[in-house]
Structure 1
Amino acid sequence: MNICEHCGYHLKMSSSDRIELSIDPGTWNPMDEDMVSMDPIEFHSKEESESYKNRMDSYQRKTGLTEAVQTGTDQLNGIPVTIGIMDFQFMGGSMGSIVGEKITRLVEHAGNQLLPLILVCAFRGARMQEGSLNLMQMAKISSALYEYQKNKRLFYVSILTSPTTGGVLNFFI
């Protein structure tokens, strides 16, 4: 259960671990897993010896993920649901253009299919390497969630995990 047997501390979980623990076995159908971030502003930090693209490649190799969120449909106790699970191990779960796009598409899919929506957040903040493009994602997600929640029969829950910074509260809740 990812709890230290000596001190009782809850260990960090990857998004893949959360999927395996949370949903019915064999029901995971990922969405948009081939979407990858580009380098829209050709970011290269003076302090860092590598480009944003090289850094993304490194995180993709390290985690086996293409981005900091996994989205898809599955079943939870036999009930069809949509779920988005952020992964802090991928650049601190930071919000880039593709993370925002994947979450927005998930919310829209949940609304179109009248499915419950679960978002599991492990989030450090906006990804500075994409400039203001990533900040637009927060507004886009908020707008999609607003539309989803207008249908009072739909169920939405946001699960904030550790670590998650306070800025996320502005658009996930």
Structure 2
Amino acid sequence: MIKEIFSKPKKKKYATIPSESSKTDVPEGVMTKCSNCKKIMYTKELQKNLKVCLNCGFHLPMTGYERLSSLLDEDTFTEMNQDMKTGNPLNFPGYEDKIAGDQKKTNMNEAVVTGTGEINGIKVVIAVMDSSFRMGSMGSVVGEKITLAIEKADELSLPFIIFTASGGARMQEGVLSLMQMAKTSTALKKFSDNGGLYITVMTHPTTGGVSASFASLGDFNFAEPGALIGFAGRRIIEQTIGEKLPEDFQTSEFLLKHGQLDAVIPRLEMKEKLHLVLEMHQAGGDSEW
């Protein structure tokens, strides 16, 4: 059933790409270069295309709030626990300054945004990780916000959706960071036992302790195209096993081919596909799909 839903991606019409000469005498921020194909494009056109390259289809990073805006119906998002802030439990040198710098740069208090909203009229609890804040690393506040969001979904009997983007556990918080793997997983088990629907969407990158815990526990595990997904780094694995790994190793496409994902969904189709899954869940599986 799921393969039928996601097997025929729609063809997209991309906007015209400006020439290299258009870079000259252009105010900062007007143009953006794709980090994959290096083409220059108008930033406004790129944003309209949800930060998917107009030339090669590469998925550029989105902030947490940009992601929410692209997915949720207008004026339906209510943020939860937005005032929670990280302390410095291990008195790690310089940690507080780094957190303060990221808070100023991203206008976020932590690396995840959580809340309730609607996708084509279906209410959900949603969490979105943001790699621009400490590389989306999972500290105690990130784990706590995600756990509280799971518990809210359980309380309201709503589906829970998470978009992951993380370099893994946050080393400045030591074992307190690693504990979040067990805490979030336990909350998800209780949620599942109560019949809750849990959907994960892994975006670039989803690695380390995040990939080994809540990112891989969905009833449906999806990913964006080209996302790096894995636990240990490529070089470490190659040195450990003494073998060269495939070029596409730890990409979302590689994981899909080996049965570790249910689908790879282009960003421009994400809202529609998530809505289909939510509709199926509401209908108890008795849908035409």
Give the structure 2 partner of residue 17 of structure 1: 66
- Structure-2 change in CA distance of 1:164 and 1:97 (3 Å): same
> Of 82, 86, 96, which residue of structure 1 is paired with 2:139?
96
Spell out, residue by residue over 1:71-124, the C-alpha distance to the aligned partner (whole angstroms, 9 max, x if none): 001111111100000000001100000000000000011001101100110011
- TM-score, with normalisation over the residues of structure 1? 0.93
Task: Give the paired residue count.
Answer: 166
The Cα shift of 1:8 comes to 2.5
**Which has the greater radius of gyration?**
2
> Of 92, 103, 114, which residue of structure 2 is paired with 1:60?
103
The Cα shift of 1:38 comes to 0.2
- Structure-2 change in CA distance of 1:55 and 1:166 (3 Å): closer
- Asked which structure has the greater RCO (Cα within 8 Å, sep 6+), the reply is 1
Distance 1:164 1:171 in 2: 11
Q: Which runs of 4+ in 1 moved over 6 A?
A: none
> Of 128, 133, 143, which residue of structure 2 is paired with 1:85?
128
Spell out, residue by residue over 1:117-154, the C-alpha distance to the aligned partner (whole angstroms, 9 max, x if none): 001100110001111111111110000000000123x2
- TM-score, with normalisation over the residues of structure 2? 0.56
Paired residue type of 1:109: K
Give the structure 2 partner of residue 165 of structure 1: 207
- Identity between Structure 1 and Structure 2 (%): 46
The residue matched to 1:139 in structure 2 has which SS?
helix
Distance 1:54 1:169 in 2: 27
8 A contact 2:73–2:121 mirrored in 1: yes
Uncovered stretches (5+) of structure 1, i.e. residues with no partner: 45-50
The residue matched to 1:8 in structure 2 has which SS?
coil
The Cα shift of 1:166 comes to 5.1
Q: CA RMSD in A?
A: 1.0
Give the structure 1 partner of residue 266 of structure 2: none
Q: Which moved more, 1:7-16 or 1:137-146?
A: 7-16
Uncovered stretches (5+) of structure 2, i.e. residues with no partner: 1-49, 218-289
Give the structure 2 partner of residue 128 of structure 1: 171
